Structure 1
Amino acid sequence: MAAEIDGEFVVFVLGLRVHKLWKIHKWLPIPFAMNRMLAELEDDPGSGFLGYQSQLGIRNHVYIQYWDSFEKLREYAWDPGREHYPAIGDFQQTVGASDDVGIWHETYLIDDQQYEAVYLNMHSHGLGAAGDLTPAEGRRKSAAGRLGETSGDDVPMDDDGTLTSPEEYDSL
């Protein structure tokens, strides 16, 4: 299956890094606040939030979020009536410039058809969960095809999954 999202979208990657595990009172409120934010966003189809994935570890938590626009992401972040606004204020008051825990984010603006994603034997995940899943056939058969660079016939594999020889691949 291949992921499809119509138009431009945003990939917002954020996380926290616990530097001092024993200062649980400093870092534990952050994942709880994040859970409240995610629940709030999932309950609001007009927010522009398309979905997320999380990877939680002992020291590092990473969240990958998908948004339909940067404007919607920014609007959410600075809305005093939403969960993020007071949470960032609480973080500044409780953690501030200490080195007990760090937070970070990266924002990527993705142009229409300037991404590719494929999923084999996977439940809905990543872009596939945020957008639509379509069969990986035709132009979606190859990474270059999904990026619009080829017609999708540039993989050394037949439609039934049989690998072809490198010579056959080179002639495509």
Structure 2
Amino acid sequence: MAVDVNNQKRITNPLLYPPFLFIFTAMPPLIRELYTNQKELGFLSMESFFGLRTTVMIQYWRSTEDLLAYAKGSNHLKAWKNFNKKVGDNPAVGIYHETFVVKQGNYESVYGNMPQYGLGKAMPHIPISPHRRSAQKRLNPQVK
């Protein structure tokens, strides 16, 4: 599974680049595309966080290959080229991108009194049972 922390943008100086609203309008069509074609694309789920100056989007993908194929697809590529054309090297907007590849079974998410969220929304749930009460037992099933 690939966890793609992408499309993080930060308004570093709003006075240098006032027309930055387009940054926040480019993603909704891509998000609709992801959810509409979820299974075919290998897209599992996502979470978004919006602050006054920073947006963060965390996406969960079935594989790195699926993620890279989508990144090279026409809609994403068009949005990325448009972003670079409008922002370029303008220091008013910063961007960073991180991708983590997680092997199946090498992760853990524990939720208490929470709705499905984050990785727990993207992957199947395994209830905690008495013999899997500690993190050590859940992450190392051979531990008794």
TM-score by length of 2: 0.89
Which of 123, 133, 148 aligns to 2:125? It is: 133
Deviations 1:121-146 (A, max 9, x none): 00100111011223122554222223
The DSSP-based 3-state class of the residue aligned with 2:67 is helix
Deviations 1:80-138 (A, max 9, x none): 2x2x1111101111100111111111000001211111000001001110112231225
Structure 2 CA distance for partners of 1:144 and 1:24, relative to 1, 3 Å:
farther
* CA-CA distance at 1:150 after TM superposition: 5.1
* CA-CA distance at 1:55 after TM superposition: 1.1
* CA-CA distance at 1:79 after TM superposition: 1.2
Structure 2 CA distance for partners of 1:139 and 1:108, relative to 1, 3 Å:
farther
Question: Aligned pair 1:36/2:29, yes or no?
Answer: yes
Partner of 1:18: 11
Question: Aligned pair 1:103/2:95, yes or no?
Answer: yes
TM-score by length of 1: 0.75
Q: Which amino acid aligns with 1:35?
A: P
Structure 2 CA distance for partners of 1:106 and 1:46, relative to 1, 3 Å:
same
User: Mapping of 1:92-171 within 5 angstroms?
Assistant: 92-138=84-130, 140-148=132-140, 151=143
* CA-CA distance at 1:33 after TM superposition: 1.3
Q: Which amino acid aligns with 1:97?
A: D
Does 1 or 2 have the higher relative contact order (CA < 8 Å, sep 6+)?
Answer: 2
Cα distance between partner residues in 2 of 1:11 and 1:140: 25
Identity among equivalent pairs (%)? 37
Q: Which amino acid aligns with 2:32?
A: A
Whether the aligned pair in 2 keeps the contact of 1:139 and 1:148 (CA below 8 Å) is no
Q: Highest CA radius of gyration, 1 or 2?
A: 1
Whether the aligned pair in 2 keeps the contact of 1:139 and 1:150 (CA below 8 Å) is no
Structure 2 CA distance for partners of 1:58 and 1:138, relative to 1, 3 Å:
same
User: Could you list the runs of 5+ residues in structure 1 that have no partner in the other structure?
Assistant: 1-8, 154-172
